């Protein structure tokens, strides 16, 4: 409760309590003395003494309280108010130390805190201003880039509304009133392929994009689209947004479809007429030409239509969902094998075939999948009942699959996929509609979504004389080698790795890491250090090829290594063989460490990383890439330290190296 009272009131109550307590003790003492004396005539003297003592205590306490209030309590409250004003308002002048001259260093300390707060606030405001200007500049640059992208680009929300689009989107979709920020994508495009691809990618948690074919609501134009989910850190929505890139392929696909149809028709007529031709060289030549054409055509049948990679299981899930909305059940026995096809078109074709077959009296639908081995697999739609006749099946395949694609039917799907639909028995009372689809090609793994940029490089001016260039403005390649031994005259490189440092930061994703075949056996003692065995380098590139590729990676950058003369001796020994020279400036983190910490300190890579609180994972230690990353982290942290040591440019740093060259000679 007392904490709610003001400081001055609490101090007043403290001194009042002292006065009351002192008076009570004096009165109690006088009473005890009077009783012990036992003489009644002395009562008046005791009373007078008590009154005088009480007034003296009250007066002295009041005087001390007034002094304390004036020189302690009031200045403390004034300091608190001044600090609060500087903390919560724009007051920026200093605190007058005279108001608290009796409080020792409290007033100067409060003034220092206020001054530091003002400086920090001003520095933060400047930093925020600079960062805001930088972000505005980068935003302008990104907007310019998006405006110049030749495809239409739309960023869409999880609810399929437009959050961003570029000018080419308007060119592709036309001057539609449905195009606008916050407007639904469904007003522009038919959503079947989009929602099917979005749901599949969201369910699988996939960071990959997928290629789909969509149609516009106005004009029924065909657009090749790529859909990729946007999962961003700190997003507030539960679902992921997505990027949709669009390209109008209406004319291209129409031409390709017509050419494919004509070529197929020509081959069919030729193959049908071959039996009626008389035997001879002309017939043999025509048969050979037809076979060669058919074989070469088969390799291109599925290349001209926009395809996506998806699993057979996802294809079955899409078909099950579409039939369920029509009240039709189907059993899918499919696995995770990946197919390359137009998933929406195949799903719609299978849906149309299933509904038409059910309408003809079939039942017990089952979708199965069987890999043929090699590059294709067979998808089978099975059902109980009579097999469809040829004319009946042709009629089903001639029915348009979508109201937005009046000229796109099941037969067109088969044509674009280079396949045929066959009818075969599938057991007692059962038949199957079977088609062959290509398997997806093996995919390269890697950070395909990474976009490398540093717009600060647009403002960087590197002087013609590199010696005058500021360290933080240069591009560095920090590298390390693992070798078969320690003698550059006879030993060879068995691994080389490097990373880039640009604008004072390590560029993620731009690494060079290569095992090298040294052309000689790696001794067991060396393997014990870097764990590279002879089996590991058996199929690796030779030294000359590895160094040519590393030279291309490092060209135009300053080379940096820990104990650089050792690593460079292996590189320079091969310059004549590779026809390249490593003639760029070379920096050594051993010498940088000596400049900053003195020659008497320990300058191993482990010691340097310990001083700079850099942790190299034990599994990566004494590997070229692990040591290169550790050296890069150390060098990145030493750049501002070197600048603070009055070594602001490359020339000054190289001159400073001369004073510590004996340290390198000692290490080698």
For residue 631, name the pLDDT band (cuts at 50, 70, 90): very high
Express each pLDDT in 50-95 by its tens digit.
889 889 999 999 999 998 888 888 888 888 887 777 777 666 677 7
Alpha carbon distance 180, 194 (integer Å): 18
Residue 520 in this model has a pLDDT that exceeds 80:
yes
pTM: 0.55
pLDDT for 448 equals: 45
| Cβ atoms of residues 172 and 223 within 8 Å | yes
Q: Are 497 and 514 in contact (CB under 8 A)?
A: yes
Indicate whether 663 pLDDT > 60.
Answer: no
**Which sequence spans correspond to the domains of the chain?**
1-148, 149-249, 253-298, 308-438, 465-667
Cα gap 61→44, rounded to integer Å: 26
Q: What percent of the chain has pLDDT over 90?
A: 16
- pLDDT number for residue 499: 93
How crowded is residue 92: how many other Cβ atoms within 10 Å of its Cβ? 14
Task: State the Cα angle at 168 between 164 and 169, rounded to 5°.
Answer: 50
CA distances from 615 to 214, 562, 631, 658 (A): 50, 16, 11, 30
- pLDDT, residue 321, reads 80
Instruction: Give, in order, the Cα–Cα distances in Å from 44 to each of 49, 52, 326.
Output: 9, 12, 114
Binned at pLDDT 50, 70 and 90, residue 601 comes out as confident
pLDDT for the residue numbered 402: 65
pLDDT at 447: 42
Contact 519, 543 (CB under 8 A): yes
∠ CA 325-328-329, nearest 5°, is 110
CATH code reported for the domain at 465-667:
3.30.420.10
Cα 561 to Cα 87: distance, rounded to the nearest angstrom: 48
For the chain, what is the mean pLDDT?
Answer: 82
CB 419 within 8 A of CB 402: no
DSSP per position, 265-287 = HHHHHHHHHGGGSPSSHHHHHHH
Decide: helix, strand or coil at residue 379: strand
> Phi and psi for 337 in degrees, rounded to 5?
-60, 135
Give the residue with greater pLDDT, 233 vs 218.
Answer: 218
250-274, pLDDT tens digit by residue?
A: 776 667 667 777 777 787 788 778 7
Architecture of domain 149-249: 2-Layer Sandwich (3.30)
pLDDT of residue 567 exceeding 80, the answer is yes
pLDDT of residue 628: 93
Mean pLDDT across 495-513: 89
DSSP state letters, 159-211: TSBEEEE-HHHHHHH-S-TT-STT-BGGGTB--HHHHHHHHHHHHHT--S-EE
CB of 637 within 8 A of CB of 460? no
pLDDT tens column, 100-154 = 777 777 778 877 877 888 888 788 888 888 878 877 777 776 667 666 677 888 8
Residue 645 token pair:
């040591």
Query: 324-358 pLDDT, tens per residue?
Result: 888 888 888 777 788 888 777 888 888 889 999 98
Handedness of CA 276, 278, 282, 287 (dihedral sign): positive
Backbone angles phi, psi at 572, to 5 degrees: -70, -25
What pLDDT does residue 457 have? 52
Q: For residues 377 and 408, is the Cβ–Cβ distance under 8 A? A: no
**In which region does residue 613 sit, left (phi positive, over 0), alpha (psi from -120 to 50) or beta (all else)?**
left
pLDDT above 60: residue 640 = yes
Highest average pLDDT, of 78-92, 419-433, 465-479, 536-550, comes from 536-550
> 179 with 173: CB under 8 angstroms?
yes
450 in Cβ contact with 464 (< 8 Å): no
Average pLDDT over residues 370-395: 83
pLDDT digits (tens, 9 = 90+) for 4-58: 777 888 888 888 899 899 889 989 988 888 888 878 788 888 888 888 988 999 9
Distance, in Å, from the CA atom of 401 to the CA atom of 148, rounded to the nearest integer, reads 35
Mean pLDDT on 578-603: 87
Tens of pLDDT along 435-465?
888 887 765 444 444 555 555 555 555 556 6
List strands edge to edge, sheet with 152-156: 162-165, 152-156, 241-248, 222-230, 210-215
DSSP 485-539: SS-TTT--EEEEEEEEEETTEEEEEEEEEEE-B-SSPPPHHHHHHH---TTTTTT
Q: What's the topology of domain 308-438?
A: Heat Shock Protein 90 (3.30.565)
């Amino acid at each position: 409760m007392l904490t709610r009272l003001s400081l001055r009131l609490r101090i007043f109550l403290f001194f009042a309590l002292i006065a009351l307590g002192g008076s009570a003790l004096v009165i109690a003492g006088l009473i005890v003395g009077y009783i012990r004396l036992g003489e009644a005539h002395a009562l008046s003297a005791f009373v007078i003494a008590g009154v005088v003592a009480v007034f003296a205590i009250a007066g002295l306490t009041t005087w001390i309280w007034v002094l304390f209030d004036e020189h302690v309590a009031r200045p403390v409250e004034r300091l608190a108010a001044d600090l609060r004003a500087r903390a919560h308002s724009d007051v920026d002048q200093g605190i007058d130390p005279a108001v608290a001259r009796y409080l020792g260093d409290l007033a100067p300390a409060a003034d220092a805190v206020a001054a530091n707060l003002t400086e920090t606030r001003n520095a933060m405001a400047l930093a925020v201003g600079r960062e805001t200007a930088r972000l505005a500049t980068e935003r302008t640059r990104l907007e310019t880039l998006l405006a110049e992208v030749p495809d239409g680009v739309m960023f869409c929300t999880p609810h399929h509304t437009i959050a961003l689009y570029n000018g080419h989107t308007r060119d592709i979709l036309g001057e539609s009133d449905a195009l606008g920020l916050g407007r639904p994508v469904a007003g522009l495009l038919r959503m079947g392929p989009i929602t099917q691809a979005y749901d599949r990618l969201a369910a699988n948690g996939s960071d990959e994009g997928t290629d789909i074919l969509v149609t516009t609501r106005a004009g029924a134009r065909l657009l090749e689209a790529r859909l990729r989910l946007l999962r961003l850190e700190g997003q507030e929505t539960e679902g992921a947004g997505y990027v949709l890139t669009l390209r109008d392929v209406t004319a291209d696909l129409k031409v390709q479809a017509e050419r494919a149809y004509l070529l197929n028709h020509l081959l069919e007529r030729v193959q049908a007429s071959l039996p009626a031709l008389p035997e001879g060289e002309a017939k043999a030549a025509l048969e050979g030409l037809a076979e060669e054409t058919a074989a070469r055509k088969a390799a291109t049948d599925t290349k001209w239509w926009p395809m996506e990679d998806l699993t057979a299981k996802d294809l079955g899930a899409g078909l099950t969902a579409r039939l369920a909305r029509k009240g039709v059940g189907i059993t899918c026995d499919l696995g995770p094998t990946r197919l390359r096809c137009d998933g929406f078109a195949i799903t719609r074709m299978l849906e149309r075939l299933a509904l038409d077959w059910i309408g003809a009296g079939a039942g017990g639908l089952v979708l199965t999948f069987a890999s043929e081995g090699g590059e294709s697999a067979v998808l089978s739609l099975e059902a109980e009942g009579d097999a469809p006749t040829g004319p009946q099946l042709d009629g089903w395949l001639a029915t348009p699959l979508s109201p937005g694609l009046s000229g796109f039917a099941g037969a067109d799907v088969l044509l674009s996929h280079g396949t045929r639909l066959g009818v075969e028995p599938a057991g007692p009372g059962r038949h199957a509609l079977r088609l062959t689809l290509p398997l997806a090609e093996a995919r390269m793994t890697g950070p395909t979504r990474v976009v490398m940029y540093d717009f600060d490089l647009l403002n960087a001016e590197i002087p013609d004389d590199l010696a005058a260039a500021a360290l933080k403005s240069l591009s560095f390649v920090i590298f390390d080698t693992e070798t078969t031994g320690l003698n550059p005259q006879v030993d060879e490189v068995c691994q080389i790795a490097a990373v880039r440092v640009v604008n004072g930061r390590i560029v993620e994703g731009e690494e060079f890491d290569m095992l090298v075949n040294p052309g000689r056996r790696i001794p067991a003692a060396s393997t014990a250090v870097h764990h590279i065995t002879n089996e590991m380098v058996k199929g690796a590139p030779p030294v000359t090829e590895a160094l040519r590729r590393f030279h291309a990676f490092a060209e135009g950058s300053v080379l940096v290594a820990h104990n650089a003369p050792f690593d460079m001796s292996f590189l320079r020994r091969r310059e004549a063989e590779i026809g390249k020279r490593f003639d760029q400036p070379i920096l050594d983190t051993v010498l940088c460490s000596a400049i900053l910490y003195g020659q008497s300190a320990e300058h191993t890579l482990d010691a340097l990383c310990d001083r700079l609180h850099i942790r190299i994972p034990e599994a990566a230690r004494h590997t070229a890439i692990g040591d290169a990353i550790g050296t890069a982290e150390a060098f990145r942290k030493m750049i501002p330290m070197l600048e603070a040591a009055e070594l602001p440019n490359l020339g000054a740093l190289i001159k400073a190296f001369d004073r510590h060259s004996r340290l390198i000679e000692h290490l080698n």
